[in-house]
Structure 1
Amino acid sequence: MLANNHPVCLSQNEKDKRLRSSILISWDEFTYVIDCGPDFRQQMLREQVQSIDGVLFTHEHSDHTAGIDDLRPYCFQMGEVPVYLDQLTLQSLKQRFQYIFETKNRYPGAPKIQINLVDTIAFSLQNERVLPIKAMHGSLPITCFRFENFAYLTDVKTIDSSEKEKLKNLDVLIVNALRIEEHPTHFNLEEALRFVNEINPKKTYFTHISHKFGLHDVIQKNLPKNVFIAFDGLKIEV
């Protein structure tokens, strides 16, 4: 966090240097990103991502969408970049990034976006079935995603039992755990652990972590078996 002298912010451990949450998913020759926040450019440079096939958005908040302008280099490669999002997120992006969605008098260098609306129905990305999972981020509906036996959930505070049913038999669950103290719109550690016990995946990784969660190595020592703290640049094979 800017202008903050918390020990996590001052830590020299690379696992404590946390950019905004996002994930890149690859299979066969395909590559998709879930969320592109303000650190999207830095993340793509760090991982040397030469091409992507599209972006899935969980919700409208800036820490998950503000990097949309940095899709430009990928647009130069492929033309329109497919994005997958719900109607609420699309409305917000059209207001905040009007120049991207203009149909007349477009700025020539603006990113080109191919809109694909997502609701609760499974859809296909290339040869992969993707199942949307609906949850609540406080009072804001959000979309999380399941690929086969892997699921990515972020910014969750509550989730209906019918949506939890979609999370059975997971090999890997990634879910938010913002901090130790309770928060009005995010799982804290206690809530995240309770959720993990209920879903019972083989492995869980906590993401969307604030500095108030604490130092990576300290937290990891106190977590249950098969529950891990995610860190920037982590690679998981499923």
Structure 2
Amino acid sequence: MVVTFLGTGTSQGIPVIACECEVCHSVDFRDKRLRVSVHLQINDKSFIIDSGPDFRQQVLRERIKTLDALLFTHEHKDHTAGMDDIRSYNFRQKKDMPIFGRASVIEQIKREFFYIFSDFKYPGIPRVEVNIIENTPFLVEGINVIPVEVMHYRLPVFGFRIGDFTYITDANYIAPEELEKIRGSKVIVLNALQKESHISHFNLSQAVELLKELKPDKAFLTHISHKLGLHAEVEKELPAFIRIAYDGLKFEV
């Protein structure tokens, strides 16, 4: 499996519009963050988790020529807003795009992209194959995916475990039974919004504490806000097995 971080930022991205902080003015490319998303290349299969507002820019940057499925963690717009651009893959691959999400996510997508689901299909609109998932393992193109339910304040969100890789974003609580699904992962991606406490996201110390408990070989932090600090400075504070993800970072599992 080859994992590529398409975006590692929050709903506002970095730089934040009109912000004058040192992170938003940083010249370090690692401090430039599009909305959070990740691409998984598993043998000949290509999946993306979440299609935020920067989806088009992200797949062009990474030259992703094929896409076999799109998985959604939850229904917030910074995770779904770019889905219209899957139509390029429809045209190229000549098939409907399988999308996977819990019922609430699919309902939001139907509201946001109502024209996809209307009785009259305007020429050139995206074509999708809807797959509603629950908190039980499911198959995507023959690959087993284990959903991990986490809480984003009061909103249930799915993380996903595929083999030895677990990806979790937009969480501030994970129940003990869901943590058991994660244990044994060699690589874990976890959100760490900022250093201060937050109502709906793990902060840096909470994410580090949880990763120390789970003990993966390697861990990456994502869904980073400008309030976390400069990438180069914050990374010095972390245990050796934890790194801060950045847009375009690739690694193998």
The interval holding the TM-score normalised by the smaller chain is: over 0.9
Matches within 5 A, 1:71-86: 71-78=86-93, 79-86=95-102
Partner of 2:107: 91
Q: Give, in whole Å, the separation in 2 of the partners of 1:136 and 1:52.
A: 28
Per-residue displacement from partner, 1:59-118 (whole Å, max 9, x unpaired)?
Answer: 00111100011111011123210001000111111112111222x112212101100111
Quote the offset at 1:222 in angstroms.
Answer: 0.7
Give the distance between the partners of 1:111 and 1:237, measured in 2 at CA: 31
- 1:151 is aligned, of 137, 157, 166, to 166
The corresponding residue for 2:7 is none
- Structure-1 separation of matches of 2:66 and 2:185: 28
Amino acid at match of 2:192: A
Q: Which moved more, 1:9-18 or 1:70-79?
A: 70-79
Distance in 1, Cα, partners of 2:225 & 2:90:
32
Secondary structure of 1:10 counterpart:
coil
Alignment match, 2:126 = 111
Q: Which residue of 2 aligns with 1:66?
A: 81
The whole-number CA distance in structure 1 between the counterparts of 2:91 and 2:117 is: 16
Alignment pair present for 1:128 and 2:143: yes
Alpha-carbon distance in 1 for matches of 2:192, 2:106: 26
Q: How many residues align?
A: 237
In 2, the alpha carbon distance for the partners of 1:3 and 1:71 equals: 31
Q: Which amino acid aligns with 1:121?
A: T
Letter of the 2:238 counterpart: L
In the other structure, the counterpart of 1:26 is 41
Distance (Å, rounded) in 1 between the aligned partners of 2:180 and 2:25: 41
Question: How far apart are the structure 2 equivalents of 1:30 and 1:200?
Answer: 28
Alignment TM-score, normalising by the size of structure 2: 0.92
Partner of 2:67: 52
Deviation at 1:124, TM superposition (A): 1.6
C-alpha distance in 2, partners of 1:185/1:221?
Answer: 25
Moved more, 73-82 or 19-28: 73-82
Q: Which secondary structure does the structure 2 equivalent of 1:7 belong to?
A: coil
Shift of the alpha carbon at 1:41? 0.5
Separation in structure 1 between the aligned mates of residue 248 and residue 117 of structure 2, nearest angstrom: 32
Inter-partner Cα distance in structure 1 for 2:213 and 2:181: 13
Q: Distance in 1 between matches of 2:176 and 2:213?
A: 10
Q: Give the residue type in structure 2 aligned to 1:82.
A: P
Aligned mates of 1:222, 1:86 — CA distance in 2: 37
Q: What root-mean-square deviation, in Å, do the aligned CA atoms of Structure 1 and Structure 2 show?
A: 0.9
Q: What is residue 21 of structure 2 aligned with on the other side?
A: 6
User: For residues 41 and 109 of structure 1, what CA distance do their matches in structure 2 show?
Assistant: 16
Q: Scaled by the length of structure 1, what TM-score is found?
A: 0.97
What SS class does the counterpart of residue 48 from structure 2 fall into?
A: strand
Higher RCO structure (Cα 8 Å, ≥6 apart): 2
In 1: Cα distance, 2:148 partner to 2:250 partner: 23
Identical aligned residues as a percent? 43
Question: More displaced, 73-82 or 163-172?
Answer: 73-82
